[in-house]
Structure 1
Amino acid sequence: MTSLGLYVPGRTPLHRAPAGVKLALLLAVVTVVVLLPPVGAAVAALVAAALYPLCGLPSHHLWGVLRPLLPFLALIALFQAVTAGPQVALGVCARLAAAVLAAGLVTLTTRVAEMLALFERLARPLRLVGVRPDWAALVLALTVRCVPMVAAAWRGAREACLARGIRPRPHRLVVPVVVGMVRSAEALGEAMSARGLD
């Protein structure tokens, strides 16, 4: 994984497709998956998972997309099975898994710069209401950049606790992570001001 985004270089047709085409396909796929019956949604999820190796993405990328989703799928499956039955539970979880896996394919095969350029083009009509598309793209870029920064700060705080022989419980990690993120934000603000971007 790169420090900014999750792009994995490759030469597959999906890698070479324009970002706009991929987003349009993703929208179409998710729309179709939502309308599928439970078994069809399960098949769609399996197909989406099978596309990862076909796009040159090793299995750890597939697991990286699925792993954060598993606790939510378990809770949703339990709730839906109790309240609406196992078939509904299968349908809801399969649709969610298929949509997330499809979105993961787009993320892993699209450079962040391409996504930001697309977003800037899509934001051009907002000029009519006084919004600068380049500033909108900058906000999105900073948002995307902050996700791995928070994850890195959390890992750093956890490793610091372990190095001191302290159990890394969440309440012990929050303060150093927040302090680190505030310092990073201040440094970023100063760098932007120095470049006339305030």
Structure 2
Amino acid sequence: MSGALTPALGLYQPGASLLHRAPAGAKLAGLALLAVGVLRITAVTTLGMVFGATLAAAALAGLPWRVWLAQLLPVCWFALPLLVFQWVTAGQHRAFMVVGQLVVLVSLAALVTLTTRVSAMLDAFEVALGPLRRIGVSPSRVALVLALTVRCVPMVAQTYAETREAQRARGLERSPVALVVPLVIRLLKKADAIGEALSARGLDD
């Protein structure tokens, strides 16, 4: 089941790096632990070092920079107004911490998403959710939902970046309508494509 869904759902970038070869379960567990650690950081310099380490890991994994930046660009558009708001309401340090943590968390998630096949994520989720069979829950269905969630976050980010670039090419960067309408249409088309892929494999019930 999971392998058949990979072409339709994945942002996976093929590679032979250590990060690519690491088990999906280990990467997902590591992501969860790192996320908790990032949220506990209280120094901007430490946060900067973690972000630098994330960039180094992306470089060592051989991830294309354009693909990598496409995951972060939409966050930057959201982060700028958030930075201003936090600066005014909570001060400079808090502003840099909140925005920095957001960027680092998205960067870490991008590392996992770009170096892990969706099929591998599904298998890892199914193994972890195996005990739920005892109470009548289908681990495969829950795993599919979780994998789709992980997959759709970068998909939405990538679609936003593509739509934003097309908006600029038409000289309409100041028009919210020129961004929102095409973005919604593109996302709906992608959702239909995913729905058709699931339905074709009997996973729509």
1:133 corresponds to which residue? 139
Letter in 1 for 2:36: T
**Equivalent residue pairs, number:** 186
Structure-1 separation of matches of 2:23 and 2:29: 10
Q: Verify: 1:75 aligned to 2:84, yes or no.
A: no
Q: Which has the higher contact order (CA 8 A, sep 6+)?
A: 2
Q: Separation in 2 of the partners of 1:12 and 1:186?
A: 32
Taking structure 2 as the reference length, what is the TM-score of the superposition? 0.72
- Counterpart selection for 2:200 from 173, 191, 196: 191
Please tell me whether the aligned partners of residues 8 and 194 of structure 2 are also in contact (alpha carbons under 8 angstroms).
Answer: no
SS of the aligned residue for 1:11 comes to coil
User: CA offset at residue 101 of structure 1?
Assistant: 0.6
Matched, 1:108 2:114: yes
Which residue of the other structure, out of 19, 28, 47, is the alignment partner of 2:24? 19
Aligned partner of 1:31 among 24, 29, 36: 36
* 1:104-162 deviation per Cα after TM superposition (whole angstroms, max 9, x unaligned): 1111111111000011112212212211122323445666777759x5xx97xx9xxx9
Q: CA deviation at 1:70?
A: 0.4
Instruction: Flag structure 1 segments of 5+ consecutive residues without an equivalent.
Output: none
CA distance in 2, matches of 1:56, 1:93: 26
Question: What pairs with 1:21-100 in structure 2 (closer than 5 Å)?
Answer: 21-36=26-41, 37-100=43-106
Give how far 1:13 is off.
0.7
* Cα RMSD (Å): 3.6
Identity of matched residues, %? 38
**Partner secondary structure for residue 96 of structure 1:** helix
Q: TM-score, normalised by structure 1?
A: 0.74
Alignment deviations for residues 20-77 of structure 1 (CA, whole Å, 9 cap, x no partner):
1111221222222222222211221122123211110121122112111001211211
